Structure 1
Amino acid sequence: MNAPVAKNDELELEIIGMNHDGEGVGRADGYTLFVAGALPGERTRVRVLKTKKQYGYAKLLDVLEASPDRVAAPCPIYDQCGGCQLQHLSYAGQLAWKRQHVVDALERIGKLRVAAPGAGAAGGGASGAAAGRADAAATAGDARDGDAAPMEGGIVVRDTLGMAEPWRYRNKAQVPIGVAEGGLIGGFYARGSHRIIDMETCLIQHEHNDEVVARVKEIGRSLGIHAYNEETGRGLLRHVVVKKAFRTGEMMLVLVTNGRDIPHADAWIGLIREQIPHVASICQNVNTKQTNVIFGDETRVLWGRDVIYDYIGDVQFAISARSFYQVNPVQTEVLYGKTVEYAGLTGKETVIDAYCGIGTISLFLAQHADQVYGVEIVKEAIEDARSNAELNGMKNVQFEVGASEDVIPRWKEQGIEADVIVVDPPRKGCDPRLLETILEMKPERVVYVSCNPSTLARDLRVLEDGGYKTVEVQPVDMFPHTVHVECCSLLVRKDN
């Protein structure tokens, strides 16, 4: 079937929803068009940019009737930068849309029943933007066939837990460096490209991160440092990575370089120390590969310590140049607090933390459990986890390197029976073998922390089919003004 619209056609379009990328969704004679910058409930004028068999893309030319949730984006480079997608949507609208995005994924992908708002969900206050269902175009032309209708007795999806101050929340900046006529530039990539938009300030970064990046660019220009060129593989400075510990105030600067030798290294370090007194650690990471991956294998300390220290709740963490640490410490505490609540710990339980990383959730849980076992496939992360347990004097937590689906069955053979299993997988969700392992272990509770509603819904379906009931899902806004949403979900065994 030919599309009813063609490239460069201009038309009026009612926006009926928003997809998982934050694009408005409209239908022209039943044909789906995605429109960046348009919000649900709006009447717009658009120009068609590209058509495919089942869907196409259009450019927003004019908003004829605006959503009550439309706001002016405060960032001057918002239209160019790819870092944020939702600054033009009110924060209340963002929170409501994120909840609805989770609901739609559970219903459409997981075929799960969601309780109607008011049945404990408390989340009826969807404004104009949120009323547009997030999955109106999760698959172009999707007729939502086979959906389970929301009904009483279903999963309670609570209101998204947002921030009182949803700006300046990021504790880590990873800024690609390029070159322009004026010398070094650094910022974020333009949407859908690797073209760097030079940036002096980012409204979701901590102010000190902005300051450090700006000073490093100035110093690099003054010393004649060359930026790395992705196409030729030449040039020195690839990325500037800055980490800020919110509670202690300590900062780490990592210079990612295409080679070990840094011209004028002593002068560079001296100027950084002189101009940026917050910095407690200056490191170099060497990455000589032609790759989009930021870090290489070799990291060395140029000045100061190899770690900085921060806290989540009462737990202290050592953060190295390459260790993973949640980028929004305020909301991390909210998310982990919900994880502990759902685990229902009384101090007597044995808990297994799959995908434990550097032990952040494990150590949170260890404060309330009898014994915690953490497993992670990345060797360096487990080394960090063990160091962090020692740092906090926690003796009731044990970490092992390996794939969860291999290690956990071995623990079972050793007589370790888990009362609670916590999973916090990457975006691709749980390995199918891990889900099988959980069903074989039969813990009383499973707490599933997810950064991807689609794979969460898929995995919850598997666990439900295997004898578990999803009781409640709590969305948490870890990344305001972006389309990302974290969730914490509680499952209990049906035969309890």
Structure 2
Amino acid sequence: MSIQVKQRFVLKIKRMGINGEGIGFYQKTLVFVPGALKGEEVYCQVTAVKRNFVEARLLKVNRPSKFRVEPECPLYEACGGCQIMHLRYDRQLDFKTDLLQQALKKFQPAGFEEYEIRPTIGMKEPKYYRAKLQFQTRLTKGKVQAGLYAEHSHRLIAIQDCLVQDQVTQAVINQVTVLLTKHRIPIYDERRVGGIRTVMVRRARETGQIQLIFVTSSQVNLTRLVKELVEEFPQIVTVAVNWHTKKSSEIYGDRTEIIWGQEAIRESVLDYTFSLSPRAFYQLNPEQTEILYGEAVKALDIQGHEQLIDAYCGVGTIGFAFAKKVKSLRGMDIIPEAIEDAKRNATALGLDNAHYEAGLAEEIIPRWYKEGYRADALIVDPPRTGLDERLLETIVRYQPEKMVYVSCNVSTLARDLVQLAKVYQVDYIQSVDMFPHTARTECVVKLSKRQVSK
């Protein structure tokens, strides 16, 4: 490849990639340019030369797209938390539909050309939607700052007014940094000092209740800080400490302890209410979660006789939408605290047909089948890594009659559909914009077992 690092050239952007970057060709070589939009002519400089592609930095937009807008966030380029805020919002939705189509074309599950891809469902007001934040901390010139690391680095970008973060949670984290400074709470430093590494703040949309987790690598005294914080924010009902002593990029350690208040906050979605303990997973965008779960309910099309398995069930939230309509509901998750939440939530909802276990779906489901349980319907909502290979094998082996796959990663979804499409028909895929201004989307896939011709 004759292209060199620091080389500059003009590039025509042909499309956008999975991370929101512009993609063009120079000397028949793929060039990725963050910040460039489809249809633009840009002037860029090469930053890295790989075996099959080149990465470049945007220097100037010679001919801008008519859909380019000025990002409202002053930290947009430095932060890296959002990738496509410079693209007009309606076109962001088109981009996310295209992302899914790109992923399907790459992995080519059976019949993918004929899949019904429905337009992405967006938000009316795509701001301040994140009900949960996880900010890293850093001590700078005697003051504690909180924010996110700049992309591909450990350089902290302090954030005090995020355009996509719930404004109450932002106000809480801002005051937390003031109190951490005031009370001289030790702050973690990778090179020499133990202390607070990360602070999580989550707010329930329905009740307004707030919970916090202080992730720390060493013993810290938060008594005075908590007292002053809850006086200013009476909505705070839970404060926890998570112990994370290893040098790793994982956000949390294994042990979490409630140090003030109650064990969980209360949240609602669709027509039911549930509890969330500090470590339990729940969607980041409560407003769009209503849409997402509603689409899952439509896609599974429960008739009333079904035995349903909710894999990766978390605190039970998706499964509860079906619980009173099915014969039985079973769920599992690898986080024990989430399963305890699911059990408590099921009891609070008066469900006597729900059963939950902590563990791996790929181990629990085969055991249930050996014990005689048979699922007619399955719903899966895996992490970004997609379905475990053994779980895929389990699904293909036992083949529940119908299935809904809720995905937060179009690439792993398309990969998993290669196996699933061997036994299931993909009726349609509905994309829901859970993360405006980012290159991520969420999808609901309706699958039904293929009929074997006689």
Q: What's the TM-score bracket when you normalise by the shorter of the two chains?
A: over 0.9
Structure 1 position 180 matched with structure 2 position 140: yes
Structure 1 position 248 matched with structure 2 position 236: no
Shift of 1:96: 0.4
Give the 3-state SS of the residue equivalent to 1:63 in structure 2: strand
Residue of structure 2 equivalent to 1:380? 337
Unaligned 5+ segments in structure 1 are: 115-149
Given the superposition, is the C-alpha separation of residues 163 and 391 from structure 1 closer, same or farther in structure 2, using an over 3 Å criterion? same
Report the Cα distance in structure 1 between the residues aligned to 2:403 and 2:308, rounded to whole angstroms: 10
Give the 3-state SS of the residue equivalent to 1:481 in structure 2: coil
Report the Cα distance in structure 2 between the residues aligned to 1:291 and 1:53, rounded to whole angstroms: 29
The one of 144, 147, 159 equivalent to 1:199 is 159
Shift of 1:95: 0.6
Structure 1 position 469 matched with structure 2 position 425: yes
Give the 3-state SS of the residue equivalent to 2:350 in structure 1: coil
Shift of 1:350: 1.3
Shift of 1:112: 4.2
Q: Report Cα offsets for 1:295-327 as digits up to 9, x if no partner.
A: 223322332212111111222221112111111
The one of 342, 351, 362 equivalent to 1:394 is 351
Given the superposition, is the C-alpha separation of residues 100 and 260 from structure 1 closer, same or farther in structure 2, using an over 3 Å criterion? same
Shift of 1:257: 2.1
8 Å contact kept, 2:45–2:56: yes
Shift of 1:382: 1.6
Q: Report Cα offsets for 1:323-379 as digits up to 9, x if no partner.
A: 111111111121111111111112221111122122111112213222111122333
Report the Cα distance in structure 1 between the residues aligned to 2:80 and 2:45, rounded to whole angstroms: 21
The one of 209, 218, 229 equivalent to 2:178 is 218
Report the Cα distance in structure 1 between the residues aligned to 2:437 and 2:110, rounded to whole angstroms: 28
Q: TM-score, length-normalised on structure 2? A: 0.96
Shift of 1:210: 0.8
8 Å contact kept, 1:419–1:444: yes
Structure 1 position 239 matched with structure 2 position 237: no
Give the 3-state SS of the residue equivalent to 1:158 in structure 2: strand
Given the superposition, is the C-alpha separation of residues 298 and 377 from structure 1 closer, same or farther in structure 2, using an over 3 Å criterion? closer
The one of 84, 99, 102 equivalent to 1:101 is 99
Residue of structure 2 equivalent to 1:133? none
Residue of structure 1 equivalent to 2:308? 351
Report the Cα distance in structure 2 between the residues aligned to 1:402 and 1:217, rounded to whole angstroms: 37
Report the Cα distance in structure 2 between the residues aligned to 1:281 and 1:376, rounded to whole angstroms: 23
- The equivalences for 1:128-139 within 5 A come to none
8 Å contact kept, 2:109–2:421: no
Given the superposition, is the C-alpha separation of residues 386 and 201 from structure 1 closer, same or farther in structure 2, using an over 3 Å criterion? same
Q: Report Cα offsets for 1:179-216 as digits up to 9, x if no partner.
A: 11151111111111111111111111100111001111
Shift of 1:418: 1.7
Q: Report Cα offsets for 1:414-449 as digits up to 9, x if no partner.
A: 332222111112222222322222233232211111
Give the counterpart letter for 1:64 in structure 2.
N
Give the counterpart letter for 2:167 in structure 1.
E
Given the superposition, is the C-alpha separation of residues 227 and 342 from structure 1 closer, same or farther in structure 2, using an over 3 Å criterion? same
8 Å contact kept, 1:451–1:486: yes
Residue of structure 2 equivalent to 1:124? none
Report the Cα distance in structure 1 between the residues aligned to 2:258 and 2:215, rounded to whole angstroms: 12
8 Å contact kept, 1:107–1:113: no
The one of 398, 406, 411 equivalent to 1:449 is 406
8 Å contact kept, 2:126–2:436: yes
> Which 10-residue stretch deviates more, 274-283 or 472-481?
274-283
Report the Cα distance in structure 2 between the residues aligned to 1:157 and 1:240, rounded to whole angstroms: 38
Report the Cα distance in structure 2 between the residues aligned to 1:409 and 1:300, rounded to whole angstroms: 33
Give the counterpart letter for 2:207 in structure 1.
T
Residue of structure 2 equivalent to 1:29? 27
The one of 62, 65, 71 equivalent to 1:64 is 62
Given the superposition, is the C-alpha separation of residues 307 and 451 from structure 1 closer, same or farther in structure 2, using an over 3 Å criterion? same
> Which 10-residue stretch deviates more, 301-310 or 289-298?
289-298
Report the Cα distance in structure 2 between the residues aligned to 1:383 and 1:270, rounded to whole angstroms: 28
Structure 1 position 432 matched with structure 2 position 360: no
Given the superposition, is the C-alpha separation of residues 375 and 266 from structure 1 closer, same or farther in structure 2, using an over 3 Å criterion? closer
Give the 3-state SS of the residue equivalent to 2:443 in structure 1: strand
Give the counterpart letter for 2:446 in structure 1.
L
Q: Segments of 4+ in structure 1 off by > 6 A?
A: none
Report the Cα distance in structure 2 between the residues aligned to 1:349 and 1:271, rounded to whole angstroms: 51
> Which 10-residue stretch deviates more, 278-287 or 51-60?
278-287
8 Å contact kept, 1:200–1:214: yes
Residue of structure 2 equivalent to 1:299? 256
8 Å contact kept, 1:106–1:112: no
Give the counterpart letter for 1:159 in structure 2.
P
Residue of structure 1 equivalent to 2:188? 228
Give the 3-state SS of the residue equivalent to 1:74 in structure 2: coil
Give the 3-state SS of the residue equivalent to 1:14 in structure 2: strand
Report the Cα distance in structure 1 between the residues aligned to 2:362 and 2:243, rounded to whole angstroms: 33
8 Å contact kept, 2:276–2:315: no
Q: Report Cα offsets for 1:375-427 as digits up to 9, x if no partner.
A: 22333322221111112211121112332222222222333222211111222
Report the Cα distance in structure 2 between the residues aligned to 1:406 and 1:302, rounded to whole angstroms: 34
- The equivalences for 1:30-45 within 5 A come to 30-45=28-43
Unaligned 5+ segments in structure 2 are: none
Residue of structure 2 equivalent to 1:86? 84
Q: Report Cα offsets for 1:211-270 as digits up to 9, x if no partner.
A: 0011111112122223210222x14221111110110011112222222331xx332122
Given the superposition, is the C-alpha separation of residues 239 and 433 from structure 1 closer, same or farther in structure 2, using an over 3 Å criterion? closer
8 Å contact kept, 2:399–2:449: yes
Give the counterpart letter for 1:236 in structure 2.
G
